[in-house]
Each structure stands twice: as structure tokens, then as C-alpha cells.
Amino acid sequence: MLSGTVILEDMRFILSVVPFTLGTALIVLIFGILLGFVVAAVRIRQIPVAKQIARVFMDYTRGIPLVIHLYLAYFILPMAIDGICRALGIEQSVKVSPLAVLVVAYAFYISVGQSENIRGAFYSIDPGQWDAAYASGMTGLQALLRIIVPQGVTVVVPVFFNTFLGVIKGLSLAFTIGVADILSQAKLASAQNAHYLEAYIAAALIYWALCGLLDVVFSRIELAFKKW
């Protein structure tokens, strides 16, 4: 029989990792946006070689599931580096931090989508803005940072918020490389008390409440950006 008391106990237990999950998701989002901005800038500038590299990167990243990215970065890459070191006569064992792998691999994974969002926001701005900036004596970089980026931010902010919610839920794969998250905490709770259904209901309620609360916060921030 379903126990409400156990659900509440499991929720208290799982809530202990929520701050860590939010912090990790925020770091992933920031790095993903920064990398996405670089990829978008390369594609916009139409530099042939760099554009081809960006295209290969995008095809590789979005063509492989996140969990495989995590496995490749955490298990395969260190093994490959160890093999190269041994072939060169270097006795050096490579150890990687699960959290660092999670952040880097996940940031790379979402950067492709962010680059498309940033690129779309860039092209949504009236080209006349560039002409006006150049006419006022600005360089291309100054025009980008002072005129184009502030206008583009208002377009992509809602998309970034949705991505953040997706990252939070996507972190449920963190347990595959040994990083604690909401789902792994639910697994641990169910292993301790043998109430598996209650543990996953507790995790689902936390995800639902967390995303609902963040949606309200993001809606208010979005309204503020529109007024700005």
C-alpha cells in the first residue's frame, strides 16, 4: 500500500541534493551558452575552414545521445590517453573528475542548440542596426556588443530558461558516471527502505514543483526583459 509518510520522508532525503543540482545545471547552461555563442559567431562570420569545423562539431554533438557523450568522456577518453602515454613510454595514469566530465560533456551537448538559438536571434535583428552603428563610428565588435547583443538577449532569454529546465531534468543521467542528483538520491532512498514506488513519486513531485517554481520566476524575469 502506498505510504504518504514514506513519500514525505523520501522527499526530505532527496531535497538535500536539489541545491547541488540547480548549481550544476546553472554552470552547464552558462558554459553551453558561451560555447554556443562561439559556434554561432563562427557560422555567422562565414570563415570557410572554421565554418566547416563548426559544422562537424554540430553534427557529431547532436547526433549522439547525452549518455554516450558521458561514457566517452568518462571511460573511453582516459583509457585512450593512458594508451597513448604508455606507447610514448610515459607512466602516467589519467584520472578525471565525474563532476567535471558531467559539466563539460553536457555543456558541449547543449551548445549546438544554443548556437542555433543565438544565430536565429542575430538574424532576427534589422540589418539597419548595423548600418546605424557603423554610421556612428562604431567598429564591428563595438556594434555587436553594444547594439546587437542587447537586442538579441531579449529574443533568446525565454529559450535559455526552457533549456535550463531541460538541463535540470537531463541531469538525471548524472548517476551513470557516479554524480549525485535527484534521481540517484531516489534510487538510494528506495534501496534503504525498499519503498520503490514512493521514492520515485517523491522524485517526480520534486521535479514537478521545482520546474513549476522556476517557470514562475522565469516568467517574471522575461516580463522585465520585455519592458527593458
Report pLDDT for 226: 67
Q: End-to-end distance of the chain based on CA atoms, in angstroms?
A: 53
Q: For the chain, what is the domain count? A: 1
Contact 171, 11 (CB under 8 A): no
Residue 163: phi and psi, rounded to 5, are -65, -40
Residue 115 inside a domain? The answer is yes
pLDDT at 20 over 90: yes
Residue 130 inside a domain? The answer is yes
| Reported pTM | 0.85
Q: For the chain, give the mean pLDDT.
A: 85
* Interval 83-99 mean pLDDT: 78
Contact 59, 202 (CB under 8 A): no
Report pLDDT for 228: 60
What confidence tens digit (pLDDT) does each residue in 116-129 have?
888 888 777 777 77
* Interval 64-89 mean pLDDT: 84
Report pLDDT for 209: 93
* Confidence category of residue 135, pLDDT binned at 50, 70, 90: confident
Residue 95 inside a domain? The answer is yes
User: SS3 string of 26-75?
Assistant: HHHHHHHHHHHHHHHHHHHHCCHHHHHHHHHHHHHHHCCCHHHHHHHHHH
Query: Which one is predicted more confidently, 33 or 153?
Result: 33
pLDDT at 83 over 70: yes
Residue 139 inside a domain? The answer is yes
Report pLDDT for 227: 65
- Domain of residue 111 covers 26-150
Q: From the CB of residue 219, how many other CB atoms can be counted at a distance below 10 Å? A: 12
- Which segment, 8-12, 38-42, 138-142, is predicted with the most confidence on average? 8-12
Residue 156 inside a domain? The answer is no
CATH code for the domain in which residue 93 is found = 1.10.3720.10
pLDDT at 179 over 70: yes
pLDDT at 204 over 90: yes
Residue 199 inside a domain? The answer is no
Residue 126 inside a domain? The answer is yes
